[in-house]
């Protein structure tokens, strides 16, 4: 039981490039989330999903897209990378609303 896994661990992008951050959970959780954490700050919700095929915006969705075709996977897409997207990205999952969130190890992204 690996929990929540994220790839890659680190990535450097040039301005304007695109990439997909991968997130997979093996706990059969319905809810999945993407957060970003800027240096010295708390976590801000980007997008979340309450089940396969259902996604919704969080606090800071601009510049990102998500999809949820399966229960296990919740990829985050950056289409036109900007320096403001330099951050650490965490994926999380939970059984449902109000339940404990399990976090992945994070992806550290730098856009230069």
Partner 1 sequence: GQQLNQSPQSMFIQEGEDVSMNCTSSSIFNTWLWYKQDPGEGPVLLIALYKAGELTSNGRLTAQFGITRKDSFLNISASIPSDVGIYFCAGTYKYIFGTGTRLKVLA
Among 1, 28, 62, 97, binds partner 1 (CB under 8 A): 97
Element (H, E) at 75: none
Structure-block tokens of residue 65: 């897209």
Q: Give the x-and-dash track for 10-49 against partner 1 (CB under 8 A).
A: -----------------------x-x-----xxxxx--x-
Q: Closest CB to partner 1 among 13 and 33?
A: 33
Q: What angle do CA 20, 91, 1 make, to 5 degrees?
A: 110
* Least distance between partner 1 and beta carbon 16 (Å): 28
Q: What spatial distance separates the first Cα and last Cα of the chain, rounded to whole Å?
A: 36
Which residue is it, tokens 């510049």? Answer: 63
Cα–Cα distance measured from residue 54 to residue 37, given in angstroms and rounded to the nearest whole number? 24
- DSSP secondary structure code for residue 100 in this structure: P
Q: Does residue 106 interact with partner 1 by CB under 8 A?
A: yes
The window from 10-18, 19-27, 69-77, 89-97 that contacts partner 1 (CB under 8 A) reads: 89-97
Q: Which chain residues interact with partner 1 by CB under 8 A?
A: 4, 33, 35, 41-45, 48, 58-59, 90, 92, 97-98, 100-101, 103-106
């Amino acid at each position: 039981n690996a929990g929540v896994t994220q790839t890659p661990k680190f990535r450097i992008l040039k301005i304007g490039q695109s990439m997909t951050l991968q997130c997979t959970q093996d706990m059969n959780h319905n809810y999945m989330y993407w957060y970003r954490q800027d240096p010295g700050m708390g976590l801000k919700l980007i997008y979340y999903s309450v089940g396969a095929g259902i996604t919704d915006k969080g606090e800071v969705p601009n510049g990102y897209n998500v999809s949820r075709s399966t229960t296990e996977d919740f990829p985050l897409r950056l289409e036109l990378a900007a320096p403001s997207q330099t951050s650490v990205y965490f994926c999380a999952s939970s059984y449902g609303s109000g339940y404990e969130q399990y976090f992945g190890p994070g992806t550290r992204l730098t856009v230069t």
